[in-house]
Amino acid sequence: MSTPHISAKKGEIAESILLPGDPLRAKFIAENFLENVTQYNTIRNMLGFTGEYKGKRVSVQGTGMGMPSMGIYSYELIHFYGCKNLIRVGTAGALLESVKVGSIVFAQAACTDSNYASQFEMPGTLAAIASYNLLEAGVNEAKKRELSYHVGNVVSADVFYNAAGTALKWPKMGVLAVEMEAAALYMNALYANVNALCLATISDSVVTGESTSPEVREKMFTDMMEIALTIA
């Protein structure tokens, strides 16, 4: 059983899966955290792996950038491969000064400027929210590890280089950070009645202009990855 984007056979993908945007981050997670690893996907170089974390079977799949790409991969993983717990592990830009670079944001909900929700033909505005059981477990794990974290709203933007600078309007409503995938993941999960959560490490700040190098980011992400693997 394969799709246009995933070449896995039935049963090769676990019910619990981590979803980094970068396929090389998926490879990093598989090589550094999982045991008994098998690679099930190389289509479009969007790498996918299944292994064991502390005896628990878990998969990790790169999803690319933006809501259209996340929409495709999460839909196929849910509807064709039976994934029940989908956890995005990615990066975000802080929109509030109190959200520091290196901290972790748990996206309780995801606003968006995308038209993604129109496909569901709802008679109003759909609230794209996380699954509480995963959110609670993730926050408890962050507390246990004494990590710097925030819980709240993020915005999933359709445009990275925004000519109008509209991202700066979201902080007025208390939105913590901007990223590009969570809303699509949450909507797909809500539609299919499965669990989803987005964890994002703050890699830069729209407010202060602070940013990190790719090398530093890779080291910072370790805590986020371990939380996601623990609760998956």
Q: What is the pLDDT of residue 43?
A: 95
Is-catalytic flag, 204?
A: yes
**What would the mean pLDDT of 130-149 be, rounded to a whole number?**
97
For residue range 102-116, what is the model confidence (pLDDT) as tens digits?
999 999 999 999 999
Torsion of CA 76, 81, 87, 88, to 10 degrees: -30
pLDDT for 2 beyond 90? no
For residue range 83-135, what is the model confidence (pLDDT) as tens digits?
999 999 999 999 999 999 999 999 999 999 999 999 999 999 999 999 999 99
Q: Give the SS3 label for residue 232.
A: coil
pLDDT for 232 beyond 70? yes
Provide the residue ranges of all domains of the chain, joining segments of one domain with +. Answer: 16-231
Buried b (16+ CB within 10 A) or exposed e, 142-170: beeeeeebbbebbbbbeeeeeeeeebeeb
Distance, in Å, from the CA atom of 27 to the CA atom of 103, rounded to the nearest integer, reads 23
How confident is the prediction for the chain on average, in pLDDT?
Answer: 95
- What ranges in 114-209 are assigned the alpha helix state H? 132-144, 182-192
User: Which of 22, 113, 158, 204 does the annotation list as catalytic?
Assistant: 204
Q: What is the pLDDT of residue 219?
A: 65
Distance, in Å, from the CA atom of 69 to the CA atom of 76, rounded to the nearest integer, reads 11
**What would the mean pLDDT of 175-203 be, rounded to a whole number?**
98
Asked if 82 and 8 touch (Cβ cutoff 8 Å), the reply is no
**What would the mean pLDDT of 31-46 be, rounded to a whole number?**
97
DSSP letter assigned to residue 221: H
Residue 164: band (very low, low, confident or very high) from pLDDT cuts 50, 70, 90:
confident
pLDDT for 1 beyond 90? no
Q: What is the pLDDT of residue 46?
A: 97
pLDDT for 166 beyond 90? no
58 exposure class (CB count in 10 Å sphere: 0-12, 13-18, 19+): buried
**What would the mean pLDDT of 80-84 be, rounded to a whole number?**
97
Domain 16-231 of CATH type 3.30.300.30: no
What is the radius of gyration, based on Cα positions, of the chain? Answer: 17
Q: What is the pLDDT of residue 119?
A: 97
